[in-house]
């Protein structure tokens, strides 16, 4: 056991320490929200108010952990450090606002009912826009740098997964334009456990979630399946096509679980 722990520390010692620390803090925040979701009586749209911050703490923590692994491949660590600071500031603001709204028993997204709700929703959007633009800049570094301390297949996988991730970060703004994520009904319909994706209607969060987590899935599949760049392209195209499929069926009002569109019957 001691050897395993030592090996883990050795592996992570040259990774991006600020983002690894931020990852730890996110997971701690997620654990606290999990406890609160079990015992708090505060509810939003028929479910524990702490479910949403729980999901965001975990999802952002995974994002931070993944970027901590990838950013060490870039030579320009000065720009990487600036990105990491912005990353932590913007996502900390996002998590604080979501947690604050949960404590108030208010929706954090698509909520403009009161002046403070409008301000919080606008600031969350601003924080996401800043991190989105800066992440696009980081992608350009991965494409312009000539040499990496990693295999060509893995760097290609990181490049392609970053592009897909950013595309589906942008897809999140379609939900903002609609002021909801459910197609065929209002938000708050019966959903699957934990993720709460609608069981009976189209849910735009499915593609948003799967697309953003291309950042983990494609490099992982590359690591275990790919032996050439061609394999990486095939993996990426298949995964991207699958995510697009979930997006199209959501717009058709079809649930990821139930392929019928009950509101059209």
Q: Say what the pLDDT of residue 194 is.
A: 75
Where does a domain end: 99, 133, 149?
A: 149
Residues 134, 256 within the same domain: no
User: Total domain count for the chain?
Assistant: 2
**Unique residue bearing structure tokens 């950042």:** 215
Whether residue 157 lies inside any domain: the answer is: yes
Q: Say what the pLDDT of residue 3 is.
A: 39
Whether residue 24 lies inside any domain: the answer is: yes
CA 249 – CA 2 distance, rounded (Å) = 49
Question: Looking at residues 46-64, what average pLDDT do you find?
Answer: 94
Residues 163, 132 within the same domain: no
Residues 58, 72 within the same domain: yes
According to the per-residue pLDDT averaged within each range, which of 8-22, 174-188, 208-222 is highest? 208-222
Whether residue 6 lies inside any domain: the answer is: no
User: Beta partners for 191?
Assistant: 198
Residues 145, 190 within the same domain: no
Where does a domain end: 149, 176, 203?
A: 149
For the entire predicted model, the pTM comes to 0.89
Where does a domain end: 149, 169, 189?
A: 149
Q: In this model, does residue 263 exceed pLDDT 60?
A: no
Residues 166, 140 within the same domain: no
Residues 203, 225 within the same domain: yes
Q: Could you tell me the pLDDT band of residue 265, with boundaries at 50, 70 and 90?
A: very low
Q: Could you tell me the pLDDT band of residue 13, with boundaries at 50, 70 and 90?
A: low
Residues 192, 222 within the same domain: yes
Identify the CA nearest to 160 among candidates 70, 260, 45: 70
SS3 string, the chain, reads CHHHHHHHHHHHCCCCHHHHHHHHHHHHHHHHHHHHHHHCCCEECCEECCHHHHHHHHHHHHHHHHHHHHHHHCCCHHHHHHHHHHHHHHHHHHHHHHHHHHHHCCCCCCCCCCHHHHHHHHHHHHHHHHHHHHHHHHHHHHHHCCCCCCCHHHHHHHHHHHHHHHHHHHHHHHHHHHCCCEECCCCCCCECCCCCCECCCEECHHHHHHHHCHHHHHHHHHHHHCCCHHHHHHHHHHHHHHHHHHHHHHHCCCCCCCCCCHHHC
Residues 90, 117 within the same domain: yes
Q: Say what the pLDDT of residue 26 is.
A: 98
| Of the candidate ranges 108-122, 163-177, 185-199, 237-251, the one whose mean pLDDT is the lowest | 185-199
Q: Could you tell me the pLDDT band of residue 60, with boundaries at 50, 70 and 90?
A: very high
| Of the candidate ranges 3-7, 80-84, 171-175, 243-247, the one whose mean pLDDT is the lowest | 3-7
Q: Say what the pLDDT of residue 6 is.
A: 42
Residues 36, 132 within the same domain: yes
Q: In this model, does residue 245 exceed pLDDT 50?
A: yes
* Segments forming the whole domain that contains residue 201: 152-265
Whether residue 250 lies inside any domain: the answer is: yes
Q: In this model, does residue 237 exceed pLDDT 90?
A: yes
Residues 145, 159 within the same domain: no
CA 238 – CA 244 distance, rounded (Å) = 10
Share of the chain above pLDDT 90, in %: 72
At 142-194, the pLDDT tens digits run 999 999 999 999 999 999 999 999 999 999 888 888 888 888 888 877 877 77
Q: In this model, does residue 201 exceed pLDDT 50?
A: yes
Residues 21, 66 within the same domain: yes
Residues 196, 249 within the same domain: yes
Q: Could you tell me the pLDDT band of residue 259, with boundaries at 50, 70 and 90?
A: low
């Amino acid at each position: 056991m001691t050897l395993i722990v030592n090996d883990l520390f050795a592996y992570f010692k040259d990774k991006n320490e600020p983002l690894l620390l931020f990852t730890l803090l996110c997971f701690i925040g997620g654990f606290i929200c999990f406890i609160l979701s079990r015992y708090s009586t505060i509810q939003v749209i028929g479910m524990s108010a702490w479910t949403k911050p729980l999901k965001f703490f975990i999802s952002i923590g995974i994002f931070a952990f993944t970027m901590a692994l990838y950013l060490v491949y870039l030579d320009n660590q000065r720009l990487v450090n600036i990105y990491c600071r912005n990353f932590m500031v913007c996502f900390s603001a996002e998590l604080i606002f979501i947690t604050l709204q949960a404590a108030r028993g208010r929706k954090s997204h698509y909520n403009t009912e009161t002046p403070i709700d409008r301000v919080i929703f606008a600031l969350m959007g601003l924080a996401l826009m800043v991190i989105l633009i800066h992440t696009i800049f980081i992608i350009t570094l991965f494409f312009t740098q000539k040499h990496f301390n990693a295999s060509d297949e893995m760097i290609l996988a990181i490049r392609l997964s970053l592009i897909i991730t950013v595309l589906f970060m942008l897809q999140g703004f379609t939900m903002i334009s609609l002021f909801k994520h459910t197609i065929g009904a209002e938000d708050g319909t019966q959903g699957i456990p934990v993720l709460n994706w609608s069981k009976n209607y189209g849910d735009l969060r499915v593609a948003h979630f799967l697309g953003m987590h291309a950042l983990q899935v494609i490099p992982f599949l590359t690591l275990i399946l790919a032996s050439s760049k061609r394999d990486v392209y095939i993996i990426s195209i298949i995964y991207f096509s699958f995510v697009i499929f979930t997006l199209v069926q959501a717009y058709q009002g079809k649930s990821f679980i139930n392929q019928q569109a009950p509101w059209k019957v």
